Structures are given as C-alpha cells and as structure tokens.
Amino acid sequence: MLKPLNPLLHSELRLAVMSILLGVESADFVYIRTETGATAGNLSVQLDKLQRAGYITIEKGFNGKMPRTTCSMTDLGREAMREYVEALKEYIGGAR
C-alpha cells in the first residue's frame, strides 16, 4: 500500500514555497512571490497555513523604513518534506 501524500504539501504553491525554503536559510516574501508567481494575498494565506502546521517560521521586521517578511523552514518542515519526497518515490517506483 502506498503512503498517503501530505495534503498540506501537495498544494502546488505550498510545495513551491517549501522547495524554495529547502535550499536556503531564509527567503523574503517578495522573493518567494516573484519565484512562485503567486499573488500577495494568496501567498500570505498559504504561508499562514504552513506556519500554523509548524513547517515554517515567519519574521516581520523592517529594512530601513520598508516592511520585510522573512520565512524560514523549521526542522519539522524539513522532516515533512523528506517524508513527502519518500512517498513520491514510492508512487514513481510503483508505476513501473
């Protein structure tokens, strides 16, 4: 029996955000929005879902007078991504 895919990570935008954060220490909101092509409102909602799950942390601050939101992946988020990738490998391997 195949492992179920984590529904929180199976969303295209949330998976894109997690994939970006997997390769960096942190990324700011503008960078993530640009890389994903998401609207600011949709990205905010999806980041909130990931934060509530404990997969990312969000820090709000200022760069000079400009507000800045920075996101980082937590250890729980890294583990969730590892499990998600392992489940995908089972699906791909089982398709042969």
- Give me the residue spans of the domains in the chain: 12-88
In whole angstroms, give the CA distance from residue 12 to residue 32: 13
Is the pLDDT at 82 greater than 80, yes or no? Answer: yes
CATH number belonging to the domain at 12-88, selected among 1.10.10.10, 3.10.20.30, 3.40.50.1440, 2.120.10.90: 1.10.10.10
Average pLDDT, the chain: 94
The amino acid at residue 52 is R
For residue range 28-55, list pLDDT tens digits in order: 999 999 999 999 999 999 999 999 999 9
Full-model pTM: 0.90
